[in-house]
Amino acid sequence: MGQICKDQSVGILLSGGIDSGILAALMPLHSRAYTIQFHAENAIDESLRARAYIECYSLRHSIVQVTWEDYLESMDILMLNKKSPLHPVEVGLFKAASTAAADGVRTLIVGNGADSTFGGMDKLLSRDWTFDEFDKRYTFVKPATVLKEPVPISSVYEEYRIDGGVDICKFLKVVHGRGIIQAFNNAISSAGCAIIEPYEYLFLDAPLDIARIRKGESKYLLRSIFQQLYPGLDVCLKIPFARPMDQWMKNWNGPSRSEFLDNLDASEFTGEQKWLIYCLERFMNLFDGKWA
């Protein structure tokens, strides 16, 4: 890490979790660190936990507040760059990276990849799913519940079908992992920064101990490293990419384009599901206006 950060233009995106906390401990003294703080009632504030990491390793801390207005302002340019709808974390990443770029940071170190490699998706690893169960569990919004002409997406899972079930570890590393990589790269590169993802270069030389994870020790290898780097500090298991979509989307009444089902009841969906539907409709509007 010292070689990567040998000049002063490298910073880190620091959440309250153990993944970026481990990387923060390896940064040179006084490196710049940026924590996203979502502005909404009852939003999870990761800056408090991140501050503990900052104090242990003497980093320079900037808290980047992200509002719904930031989403409205930035999501179109991010979708144009990506040529697809967004992961809900991308606007926050974009604002944090833009703040870092304004400070002279040219490269950001991020902690994504730890969950998919080291067994952090404990709810998905909590049981042996049948193929159909996993399809239902991982598909966040079923196309048939919102679109007049839905296209089944089960084919995405077919490559990972094994004996009536799913190779979840491989699926998380390839499909889920690549989706996260795309989201981080789009957001951070759109702000003019390069990205380094140390965990994406790591692979295990033995299968994950699924039984251990199912007993409550998700990311057991990283937990051990974290406890060595932060003795006396409890392991903090957070909600990945926590953002207050329930608050931000609570007054959204649903899509209006003709491709969507008539009289769709938005109240039947969670805030995260509403975001996906809203983002898809906005992407379609953008497509019609910009690329027609």
Contact criterion met (CB below 8 Å) for 189 and 195:
yes
pTM over 0.85: yes
The full DSSP string for 86-112 is --TTHHHHHHHHHHHHHTT--EEE--T
Q: Would you say residue 290 lies in a domain?
A: no
Q: Would you say residue 268 lies in a domain?
A: no
Give the tokens for residue 85. 């709808």
For the purposes of burial, counting CB atoms within 10 Å of the CB of 79, is it exposed (0-12), middle (13-18) or buried (19 or more)?
Answer: buried
Q: Would you say residue 242 lies in a domain?
A: yes
| pLDDT for the residue numbered 292 | 45
Q: Would you say residue 284 lies in a domain?
A: no
Give, as one character, the DSSP assignment of residue 161: E
Closest-CA residue to 83 (of 155, 194, 190): 190
Low-confidence stretches of the chain (pLDDT beneath 50): 292
| pLDDT for the residue numbered 8 | 64
With a CB cutoff of 8 Å and minimum separation 6, the contacts of 25 are: 53, 56, 57, 229, 230
Q: Would you say residue 177 lies in a domain?
A: yes
Task: Give the CATH number, domain containing residue 203.
Answer: 3.40.50.620
Contact criterion met (CB below 8 Å) for 35 and 46:
yes
Q: Which residue range(s) make up the domain with 200?
A: 10-121+167-252
| pLDDT for the residue numbered 164 | 85
Give the chain's domain count: 1
Q: Would you say residue 197 lies in a domain?
A: yes
